[in-house]
């Protein structure tokens, strides 16, 4: 079984630039999550999708972050414009259903200079 | 606010010894807990889980203990190996329909 795929693996941008991350969850997983993991901290949930609908985006900075999962499979997370404090690893995870074990991708390491 | 936390941010153990990683949680409604292992440059990987109707669960070389009275969770790794070096996170699920909240993590270093 293929795992959660993410791209790119690394990204370096200047502040005020835009960036987008892509995630392909495990086939058949209805629930998809985006987490932000700042160095030395645990993952923090940004947004959760159930199929193509948003279930929880309470911790997503909506003035600069956006995410979509149009066809209920792949998802993209965008930051526009980026700030220095957005430097982190962005993890995508998927699960069969909410509350089930989550499978994580390798993450995208973002550095904002 | 309520949070999941860890007593020790770093833990160093000799190869072959047993490791114990601790986690405190404050939400009595939490009913499902997972321990994750995160190696450098990788996403968190499931190790073992436990539900609140259990006190202990064993896997291969790992045991999770849950003490609901003091809201404490621990991960025991037997015969720690160099490959166990990683950051370990506990995550709690605060009830049906809720998401997992991750603690800050403990870095385990295995000394030769």
Query: Using the beta-carbon criterion (under 8 Å), do A99 and B93 form an inter-chain contact?
Result: yes
Say yes or no for a CB contact (<8 Å) between A104 and B102.
Answer: no
Per-residue pLDDT at B79 exceeds 70: yes
pLDDT of residue A7: 97
pLDDT at residue B99, rounded to an integer: 79
Cα separation, B38 vs B59, whole angstroms: 18
Q: Give pLDDT, residue B85.
A: 96
pLDDT digits (tens, 9 = 90+) for B17-58: 999 999 998 788 899 999 999 999 899 999 999 999 999 999
pLDDT digits (tens, 9 = 90+) for B1-21: 334 544 448 999 999 999 999
pLDDT along chain A (113 residues), means of 10: 92 98 96 94 93 92 95 95 97 90 95 98
| Pick from A100, A98, A96: nearest CA to A25 | A96
**CB interface of A with B, residues 24-83, below 8 Å:** 33, 40-45, 48, 56
Whole-number pLDDT of residue B2: 38
Q: Please judge whether A106 and B41 are an interchain contact, meaning their C-beta atoms are less than 8 angstroms apart.
A: yes
Q: Do A44 and B46 touch (CB under 8 A)?
A: no
Q: Write the CB contacts of A25 (distance below 8 Å, at least 6 apart in sequence).
A: A4, A32, A73, A74, A75, A92, A93, A94
Picking from B45, B49, B99, the nearest residue to A56 by CB comes out as B99
């Amino acid at each position: 079984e293929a795992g959660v795929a993410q791209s790119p693996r690394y990204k370096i941008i200047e502040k005020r630039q835009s960036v987008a991350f892509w995630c392909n969850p495990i086939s058949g997983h209805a629930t998809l999550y985006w987490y932000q993991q700042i160095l030395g901290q645990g993952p923090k949930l940004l947004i959760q999708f159930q199929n193509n609908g948003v279930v929880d985006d309470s911790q997503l900075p909506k003035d600069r972050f956006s995410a979509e999962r149009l066809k209920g499979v792949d998802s993209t997370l965008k930051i526009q414009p980026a700030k220095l404090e957005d430097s982190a690893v962005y993890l995508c995870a998927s699960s069969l259903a909410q509350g089930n074990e989550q499978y994580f991708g390798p993450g995208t390491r973002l550095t904002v200079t | 606010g309520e949070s999941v936390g860890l007593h020790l941010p770093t833990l160093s153990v000799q190869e072959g010894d047993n490791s114990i990683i601790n986690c405190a949680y404050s939400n009595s409604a939490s009913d499902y807990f997972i321990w994750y292992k995160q190696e450098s440059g990788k996403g968190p990987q499931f190790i073992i889980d436990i539900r609140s109707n259990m006190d202990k669960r064993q896997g291969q070389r790992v045991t999770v203990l849950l003490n609901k009275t003091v809201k404490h969770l621990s991960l025991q790794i037997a015969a720690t190996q160099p490959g166990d070096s990683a950051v370990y996170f506990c995550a709690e699920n605060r009830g049906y329909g809720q998401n997992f909240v991750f603690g800050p993590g403990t870095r385990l270093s295995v000394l030769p």
